[in-house]
Structure 1
Amino acid sequence: MSTLTQATRSSTGGGGAGRATRMRSDSRRAAPAYYWMVWPAVIAFAAFHTLPVLVGIFFSFTNYAGYGAWNFVGLSNYANLFGDERVLQAYGFSFLFAIVATILTNVFSLAIALGLNAKIVGRNFFRGVFFVPYVLAILVIGYVFQFFFSNSLPRILAGIPVFRDNILTSPEWAWITIVVLAVWQACAFAIIIYLSGLQTIPGELYEAASIDGAGAWRQFRSITFPLIGAFFTINVVLSLKSFLQVFDPIVALTNGGPGTSTESVTLLIFKGGFSGGEFAYQTANAVIFFIVITIVSLFQFRVLQRREAEF
């Protein structure tokens, strides 16, 4: 009797363990619908993104002009980039523009978000108004700004030498118009990010700070800014990356002029690669630019996240 009972228990225990193993295996196995949804996206991404990138990198080691025959030239394109004054000027302009625009965007966006987060009349209406620039076509708005800078502004500010003539024709000041347009549009998205961060801060912290006698600036420096550090990091990284790749505002306002004074890296790649017979050369430039943006973004994350940890 005892032998039969023991055998039964052993059989039951073994069956239970087997069922548990099969259940764990089934839980790890994805449903067929998962593959039908994921694989088409993976294939499309590889076909329209990864494969063209690999082809471009391949042609960067050739002298391909975008048409006709080509030959391998090794690293010649990459070596020539570092001695090309036009390329270096484009990088200098892109970084100058990106740094100035990033600072202005985050200063204005944070100030506006703080105002919209306060208890003011019609704040939901103003939130919608400030987000409008983000949904507008930048090229269309760019041409509106072009008319404003070239026709309206010289009449309104005729007494100021910089604005009396068309500022878009000034090699020294034309870049400011691009900053104005780019910042005007970029603030819309940055404001939404900052508003999301401000709404995560408990109101009790401000009440306690007020009781302790902390003023508005002290509350901002000790409570608001440290607690929205992650949102600040996101905005700064995205802003700088986006501004380094500035293209549409330049096309709409100056098209890189006067001369090449407002020519960004992306505009140079587009002009030289698609209409200048420098497809392989500018493809090499694009590869270098991609590496530069990646390094800059990783450096930003490292520095800004360290600042968050200090808080």
Structure 2
Amino acid sequence: MATLTAPAPPARESSPSRRRSRLAPRGYYWFVWPAVIAFAAFHTLPVIIGVFFSFTNYAGYGTWDFVGFANYANIFRDDRVLQAYGFSFLFAIVATVLTNAIALAIAMGLNARIRARNFWRGVYFVPYILAVLVVGYVFQFLFSNSLPKILSGIPLFADNILTDPTWAWTAIVALAVWQACAFAIIIYLAGLQTIPGELYEAAAIDGASTARQFRSITFPLISAFFTINVVLSLKNFLQVFDPIVALTNGGPGTSTESVTLLIFRGGFTGGEFAYQTANAVLFFIVITLVSLFQFRVLQRREADF
């Protein structure tokens, strides 16, 4: 009669292997801590110091005293600050709408079956990798020299538009939108490629027009990508700085002076370090609230499939 033999117990893991598995998580800390320390030293600590000085009358040099919330109260009575906030929001709203409308239209065209599609994707992404100051000086020459000669018959472009207090901001919008569209196109392309083609085939069989397919299929299913683009666009445009420096430097007068440019000028060259630091803290709170509001509103329209 055959004798049944119990299966041998699984071999135990060698002690060096168990020791390595126990010590492995500690190795991750050697990669994490340098990044945490660098982030704290170059971001968190300066922010804390800035918030501290926003409650003082520090001019960037010399002595200082605590003034409490006086800097924050004065911001709401400063016409120049209020004008900068008005310009920043007007610029950001117009640029955000144009950027997303143009980028979505181009992305839908690139997502269609056209020749050399990958080539055109690369072409449209080029503006994003170019230095904005260099491109800005090219646009400055375009608006101040080329367009007045080419479009001399149009009153708006007969003279240098950058010297017009009423319309100079439109030139900044043109530069900012031209560069921002590159990143937005990539985001929209990623969203469009997640939509199954069967949905369009079924809609076409049911007789849905192209416009109806966009309203009922395309836009609802890329609404998450639309939310990302709108939030990032508005946040970045509210902080506009480089295009203004390259084109108008805040002029004529202060007609195109944004909040970030005002903070830079007053804080570093105007002897208003503490005052403009308080302005920066307030601006950070405003941007945070605007972004949270956008997420709350736009995420309600997002659809899944």
Q: Does 1:217 align with 2:204?
A: no
Provide Cα deviations, 1:105-164, integer angstroms capped at 9, x if missing partner.
Answer: 000000000000000111111100000000000000000000000000000011111111
Q: Specify which of 294, 297, 302 is matched with residue 288 of structure 2.
A: 294
Change (3 A) 1:169 1:201: same
Q: Does 1:38 align with 2:20?
A: no
* Alignment correspondent of 2:259: 265
Q: Does 1:160 align with 2:174?
A: no
Number of residue pairs the alignment of both structures matches? 292
Provide Cα deviations, 1:59-100, integer angstroms capped at 9, x if missing partner.
Answer: 000000001111111110000000000000000000000000
Q: Specify which of 123, 128, 140 is matched with residue 129 of structure 1.
A: 123
1:177-256 mapped onto 2 (5 Å cutoff)? 177-256=171-250
TM-score by length of 2: 0.92
* Alignment correspondent of 1:142: 136
Change (3 A) 1:268 1:219: same
Distance 1:183 1:72 in 2: 42
* Alignment correspondent of 2:62: 68
Q: Specify which of 95, 101, 108 is matched with residue 107 of structure 1.
A: 101
* Alignment correspondent of 1:10: none
Distance 2:24 2:86 in 1: 50
What secondary structure sits across from 2:77 in the alignment? Answer: coil
Change (3 A) 1:191 1:276: same
Q: Percent identity of the aligned residues?
A: 82
What secondary structure sits across from 2:208 in the alignment? Answer: coil
Which one-letter code corresponds to 2:152 in the other structure? A
Change (3 A) 1:310 1:123: closer
Cα distance, 1:192 vs. partner? 0.1
1:77-92 mapped onto 2 (5 Å cutoff)? 77-92=71-86
Distance 2:239 2:57 in 1: 25
* Alignment correspondent of 1:281: 275
Runs of 4 or more above 4 Å deviation: 26-30
Distance 1:289 1:239 in 2: 16
What secondary structure sits across from 2:65 in the alignment? Answer: coil
* Alignment correspondent of 2:7: none
Cα distance, 1:28 vs. partner? 8.7
Cα distance, 1:27 vs. partner? 7.4
What secondary structure sits across from 2:302 in the alignment? Answer: helix
Q: Does 1:96 align with 2:90?
A: yes
Distance 2:118 2:98 in 1: 24
Distance 1:88 1:30 in 2: 55
The answer to whether the 8 Å contact 2:220/2:301 transfers is no
Distance 2:59 2:260 in 1: 18
Which one-letter code corresponds to 1:192 in the other structure? I
The answer to whether the 8 Å contact 2:223/2:303 transfers is no
Distance 1:70 1:198 in 2: 56
Which one-letter code corresponds to 1:138 in the other structure? V
The answer to whether the 8 Å contact 2:84/2:262 transfers is yes
Cα distance, 1:32 vs. partner? 2.2
Distance 1:209 1:87 in 2: 52
* Alignment correspondent of 1:56: 50
Distance 2:149 2:24 in 1: 67
What secondary structure sits across from 2:284 in the alignment? Answer: helix
Structure 2 unmatched runs, 5+: 1-11, 14-19
Distance 1:86 1:179 in 2: 21
What secondary structure sits across from 1:31 in the alignment? Answer: helix
CA RMSD of superposed structures (Å): 2.0
